[in-house]
Structure 1
Amino acid sequence: MGKRPSGTGPLGIVAGGGAFPAAVADAVVAEGREVLLFLIRGFADPALERYPHHWFRLGSLGSVTALAKARGVKDLVMVGALTRPRVSDLGLDWTMLRVLPRIIRLFRGGDNHLLSGVLGLVAEQGFHLIGAHEAVPRLLLPEGVLGALAPTAQDRADMARGLDLIRTLGPFDVGQGVIVVDGFVVAVEAAEGTDQMLARYGEMRRTGRLRIPARRGVLVKAPKPGQDRRVDLPSLGPATVERAAEAGLAGIAFEAGGAIVPDAQALGSAADSAGLFVFGMGRGDAA
């Protein structure tokens, strides 16, 4: 985009679903910077109204950018869960209608293609798009073990295999997660997302489709090669730990610096309570 974050004026936070927009907003405010939240209707938590905010529909780019400029916003960050909408559900305003052919083309690609294209449209309005990892680096998953339990040698081999698969599938713009057990890839994240992949794997174990003992295997997640890390960066919290435990896994491994973790201490405690390890993979874990 050519420009660096200004660091001045309020930080605009485009908020989707889940708890992570609040974590980013809290961290930014704690560092002494004002925030202005743009809450996406149908996705953002109404509790976010405790911050200065504006509700909008995904297709209302014109009204959002006009308001942001009027409030002195120069830097924008997108954070929170979104499901892929239909073009007919966007509620397009005049600004978006003028670029409707481009929007239709964006919807013909994968999620990374779509999100990066939307960022391009926003940047054309004069904003600098930054990632949550740039806005609040301290919220990123650190390298190494969180909690008391560490991965075994087999777990580390499963991590490396999972990373290899994610990188191989990257050009196809599919999900960011896989489950690997003793060297076997038993589940790949697609459009259903991580939670549903974990539920599907757990159901295969319960029904005997997969005869795998409890506390075996690793959920491996990492950004796709070439992914624009300003959008769709994975997030990791106690809820993911709970679902991985229910599925019968031994642990969770995310790329260090490649996932948002609002509270690393709480995450480690949740992992200890569930009997799982949580591990931030560094460069050496890809070997």
Structure 2
Amino acid sequence: MTDEASTDCDDAVPDRVGILAGWGSFPVELAEHYRSHGAQVHVVAIKGHAAPELENLSDSLRWTGVLKIGAGLKYFESKSVRHVAFAGKVFKDRILYHGRGWIEHMPDFTCYRLLGSSFITRRTDGRDDTILNAIMEEYRRRGIEVLPITKTAKHLLASEGCLTQRRISRAQRRDIDFGWQIARQMGGLDIGQSITVKDQIVLGVEAIEGTDALVTRTATICPRGGFTLVKVAKPNQDMRFDVPTIGPQTIERLARAGGSAVAIEAGKTIVVELTKTVELANKLGISIVVQPAEASKSEIARDAAAATPKASCTDLIVANQRPSSSRTQVQSASSRAA
């Protein structure tokens, strides 16, 4: 992750800012936040994804196709925008595997140039990080900074603790602890952000279809319900794009599917419409628990390891010179110390 991506400056909103808006309420909340800080807001809204109310929350807006990357860049340049936020979901499965595929969306030349190696020649993979990093590099090359959420709207990120009236049970705690590292590994492979778990068994793993579809699919696997959704950031999450997000729709879908809890990561998960999300979860009996950020856990583990005495080479030599019964005891103690 670059220094730019890890910048941690609370709500440093530029005077003029752009939003590349996909699906969901995140772009709407971001536009409202930028306007409340007195910024000019210019939006490139993706057709079939972005919310119409963005038209009333922006100083200018252009609707464009999802693969019109060059057109979006030119629009921001025409408005003298030098800072842009990527916000909202893009339905990648619909773009690639519905109808005639991505060609149906009439990609422009810039899209072909940036993503042709993923979708035409197949010289590179089509993972989210691969695609989005290629797009961000083009923005950077043309003098436009892609803003991390931590720089301009840190308040949208979840804080540690239980957000709901209903606390998690012991069984749910076991499921969360069990699923957490598995979900992190899946995120590290850039496969997906979420898994569903019950009785310390993985019921489903998110891939290209997204979290909502994962939850719906889990309902068919576990019709008795009572499962937990675990949604985490990637181990080296770039906070400029693809940041884990939940909101009212997540809670509604989870309740319909029979889920009973959702676990997310503090400081690395966006909660849109926070008040509405929590009120809805309380009404539907869903627990929302925000786990400590993984980085903090790693630091604690490293500190603990550093404080644990290690067996020295001398200890091991002495152990090997002792009678076999004593040697077993010393080796066992050395193993425990290590």
TM-score (norm 2): 0.75
Name the larger-Rg structure. 2
The one-letter code of the counterpart of 1:66 is K
Distance in structure 2 (CA, Å) of the matches to 1:235 and 1:93: 29
Deviations 1:226-251 (A, max 9, x none): 34231111221111111111222221
SS for the counterpart of 1:253 is: strand
SS of 1:228's partner is coil
In the TM superposition, what is the alpha-carbon distance from 1:125 to its structure 2 partner? 1.4
Q: Which residue of 2 aligns with 1:92?
A: 107
Other structure's SS at 1:150 match = coil
> Which residue pairs with 2:229 in the alignment?
219
Q: In structure 1, what is the equivalent of residue 328 of structure 2?
A: none
The 5 Å alignment of 1:137-286 reads: 137-206=154-223, 212=224, 214=225, 216-283=226-293
Deviations along 1:61-118, whole A, 9 cap, x unmatched? 3333233223221111111110223442443334445556456458733122222222
Is the contact made by 2:23 and 2:50 (CA closer than 8 Å) also made in structure 1? yes
Deviation at 1:7, TM superposition (A): 4.4
1:22 is matched with 28
Aligned residue number for residue 153 of structure 2: 136
**Aligned residues with identical type, % of pairs:** 29
The whole-number CA distance in structure 2 between the counterparts of 1:279 and 1:272 is 12
Residue aligning to 2:37: 31
8 Å CA contact 2:114–2:134 kept in 1: the answer is no
Partner letter of residue 29 of structure 1? R
- Structure 1, unaligned stretches of length 5 or more? 207-211
Taking the aligned partners of 2:36 and 2:144, their CA distance within structure 1 comes to 23
> Cα offset for 1:223?
1.5
CA distance in 2: counterparts of 1:185 and 1:113, whole angstroms: 27
Residue 209 of structure 1 corresponds to none
Read off the aligned partner of 1:237 and give its amino acid letter. Answer: G
Quickly say closer, same or farther: Cα 1:66–1:200, change in 2 above 3 A. Answer: closer
Count of aligned positions: 280
* Aligned partners of 2:13 and 2:37 also within 8 Å: no
Matches of 1:166 and 1:29 in 2, distance apart? 36
Moved more, 30-39 or 64-73: 64-73
Select the structure that is richer in helix.
2
When residues 199 and 121 of structure 1 are mapped into structure 2, their CA distance, relative to the original with a 3 A threshold, is same
Secondary structure of the structure 1 residue equivalent to 2:235: coil
Shift of the 154–66 alpha-carbon distance from structure 1 to 2, 3 Å rule, reads same
Asked if structure 2 preserves the Cα contact closer than 8 Å seen for 1:12 and 1:73, the reply is: yes
SS in 2 for 1:269: helix
2:79 counterpart residue number: 71
2:90 aligned with 1:82: yes
The answer for the alignment partner of 1:9 in structure 2 is 15
Task: State the match for 1:47 in structure 2.
Answer: 53
SS of the equivalent of 1:157 reads helix
Deviation at 1:173, TM superposition (A): 1.6
Greater CA drift, 22-31 or 197-206: 197-206
Q: Aligned pair 1:56/2:64, yes or no?
A: yes
CA contact (8 A) 2:31 2:54 kept: no
